[in-house]
Structure formats: structure tokens, C-alpha cells
Amino acid sequence: MTLSSLQQARAIARPSREQMLNREFSVQQFWNQNRDLFERAWSEWQTESEAKLPQLDSSIFDPKLRAAVEQAWADPTTEDAVKDLWEEVFPGVYRAQFFDVERLAALREYLDGVADADIPLRPPYGIVLNRGGAMLDPRSEGYLAAPGFQGFYREMMDAYMRPVSRLLFPDVVGYDTQTFGFSIRWQASKDTSLRPHSDASAVTLNINLNLPGEGYSGSAVSFIDPVSRRVEKLTFEPGTALIHHGSVPHASEPITEGERYNFVLWLYGQHGQIPHGSTPTPRISAKDRWSVPTEEFGGISPKTCPPVPLSNSERTFLRRPIFTTLPIGASLSKVQSTMMIPMLQTCGWGRALFGHSRRVSLTSHLRRQRAAQRSFWRSSKGHIWSGRPKRLLITTNFQ
């Protein structure tokens, strides 16, 4: 008897948690080789579950935000009504009610159905493996490919996030054509926190999905002002969102009780480009702000470039948390420059993202970092800090 795609997807052998944490090449092969199968399985699941699960539509969005956004799409000159709904709660960080609290339960019910579908979903593992999360964007392997969800996701990105980003952060125009998203489920007994980092995005939108009365302790998002070094902990109410430049350093504090659910959504430009400090702010009309880019959809996500196999000796070396520190002006001969380190790509304007899609010598890597002259660096498996820059610290912290 021939099995349906849904039955095949549910029966398939899946990579272990350890294999995913180790970024083993077989994991990438698993997602790539089964992409079409999983997409067909999600379509079959939607047909099978349509009568049981709520429909995801624009009623999920907060009524005030929805009304202002719909009016701005009809008449862009009214866009200030959208901007007025966002409150600056930290330098460069804005907060607003994004989802309707009364309709949030429908979204969560749908996501619970997704979790019970038993179709392989790739969890986010940019810095740590979040076991309760899922990739949302079609550019990611193992993404949530249910057609109903994808229609809702596209509306969220194109109709809401992008024009709001352009209103609050005018410098992102042109660096907002590509999308990326994932869900996170913080659990006190499992995945509890995320160390300080910045994102490889032009703009990041973080939306809380907790229901009213579904409390948790801890798990605030700490933001760090790179100029004053002031740190502030911001908390989420059900359905609220925080939006900021990806370059703003932030961290998720440990969750000590309960669970926290979030969507994390990114915008960035072609080839991973993001605005930098000297990027001129383009002057565009309100009509252009409320438009959908026509640029080609890039196929590689900032966290999921294809890895290459690593030998056991390379993997052992890369697990060392700190490789070296040296003055920026130091001679490269002081470092064993033939030692190879993994590198995903130099993303945008010199922001380094560590992965292992290609390897470069330490010599080449240091030259890239010196040329960039940035004060804060972020890596998905470690951090690079330089103080304008005085000293360079390289940490691989390979997992």
C-alpha cells in the first residue's frame, strides 16, 4: 500500500538533538532531501485539519493597529496614526499591542495543532537549540509550510512589519526586502535564556504569544545601550511586540517558572545586507513606504547557509570557547594564521556570522574584522567585541 506524504513524513527517522546541536552535515541533508515531502505533508495536514483548527486571518491583529494599518494602505497620508501606536520604551526600541488579546487563543490553538501534527519541524538553533520553536519562513529548511499559516505569515511581514519598520526606522528602506522568522518557546525546565547578542537583521520584531493569565517568571528581554552601556529589562504583556534595529544588543533573561511563547521576525536586504552607521537615510514618499518590494526572494536565510562536514579534530578545536585575543595592531605572525575557523558569511556591512558553509584562514578573518571598524559584533555561535577597536576577542563557543 502506498503511503501518503503525511504518513511518510510522520514515519521518517529524524536527526537527534545532539546531531542538530553539532550542526552535522547529515542534518542539512535531511532537511534538503525531504523538503518537497514535508511541504506536501503540510498541505495534506491542512486539508485534514481544516474543520478542527481556527482560521488565521487579519482578525488576529489588534483592532486599533489593524484599523490604522488598513487605512494607511488605502491612504498612505494617514500613516501617522500607525506610528502613534508605538511607544519608545528604550533608545531605539518601540512597543505596541500587536495581536488582539481576545483572538490570541485562536493563534495558539493553531500552533498547538502544528505541534501535534508530528511532521518534522526544524527548531531554531542560531545560538542555542530551542526545542519548542519552529522556523516560519520558506527560505529556511524544515519550515512550517502549511499554506494557511504561510498566508498569515506573509500578511504579517508585508502588510504590517515592513511599513511599520520604515516609519520608525527610515534608514532600513532598501534593506528590508528579505524576510526571516521563527517561533520560540521558553520553558523553565528546558531552554531558559539567550545570552547577549545582536541580530543579523535590519529590523527585529519580537511578539509575545502568551495568553492572559498564562504567567511566567523571569524571561525579560534586556537591552543594552552601546553608547551609555545602560541596561534595561523589558517585559511582555500578551500580544505585545517590541521592534528595534537588529544591531541593538539584547538578551533573554532566564525563565524561572512557566513558559513564554514568541514570534521573532526579521527584515534585511539582498545578500544579508543591513544598514550601518553611515548609511544615508533615503527620502521616500508615504506611498512608497506602503508598498511591497519587487526584488527577487533570496533563497538562503542568515542562519541557515549550507554547512560543510567537519572532522572530529576540527570539531574538538571549535568547541574551545576562546581562541585568542590580540591588539588590533599586532602582527599576524603572532597568531597561527593557518588555523581554520568556520564562517557563515560576512553579512551586510561587515557583521560576522559564524557557521560552517565555508572556511577562511584566521589571517583573512582578522583582516575582514579590522576593515569593518565596528564597535559591536555578533556571532550566532559566539561573540566578537571590539572597542573602536582596541582589542579583538574571538570566541567560537561551537555547539
Reported as a pLDDT band with limits 50, 70 and 90, residue 188 is low
Name which of 146, 237, 245, 170 is nearest 204 in CA terms: 245
Which residues have C-beta within 8 Å of that of residue 344, sequence separation ≥ 6? 302, 305, 353, 354, 355, 356, 357, 380
Question: Over the stretch 316-365, which tens digit does the pLDDT of each residue have?
Answer: 443 433 333 333 333 333 332 222 222 222 223 223 323 322 233 344 44
- Under 8 Å between Cβ of 128 and 283: no
CA distance 22 to 376: 26
pLDDT at position 159 is: 98
Question: Over the stretch 195-238, which tens digit does the pLDDT of each residue have?
Answer: 677 888 999 999 999 988 887 665 578 888 877 888 888 888 89
Reported as a pLDDT band with limits 50, 70 and 90, residue 305 is very low
- Under 8 Å between Cβ of 389 and 324: no
Residue 387 pLDDT greater than 50, yes or no: no
Domain ranges of the chain: 53-289, 312-395
Q: Which CATH homologous superfamily contains domain 53-289? A: q2cbj1_9rhob like domain (2.60.120.620)
Burial string for 336-367 (b: 16+ CB within 10 Å, else e) reads eeeeebbbbbbbbbbbbbbbbbeeeebeebbe
Name which of 394, 387, 386, 320 is nearest 363 in CA terms: 394
Name which of 47, 90, 325, 38 is nearest 224 in CA terms: 90
Please, what sign has the CA dihedral across residues 94, 242, 182, 153?
negative
DSSP secondary structure letter of residue 61 = B
Residue 304 pLDDT greater than 50, yes or no: no
Mean pLDDT (the chain, rounded)? 75
Residue 195, class by beta-carbon neighbours within 10 Å (0-12 exposed, 13-18 middle, 19+ buried)? exposed
Question: Over the stretch 60-108, which tens digit does the pLDDT of each residue have?
Answer: 999 999 999 999 999 999 999 999 999 999 999 999 999 999 999 999 9
348: left (phi over 0), alpha (psi -120 to 50) or beta: left
pLDDT at position 123 is: 85
Percentage of the chain exceeding pLDDT 90: 47
Mean pLDDT computed over 157-183: 95
Question: Over the stretch 249-287, which tens digit does the pLDDT of each residue have?
Answer: 888 777 767 788 889 999 999 888 888 777 788 889 999
Question: Over the stretch 99-151, which tens digit does the pLDDT of each residue have?
Answer: 999 999 999 999 999 999 999 999 886 545 556 789 999 999 999 999 999 99
pLDDT at position 116 is: 93
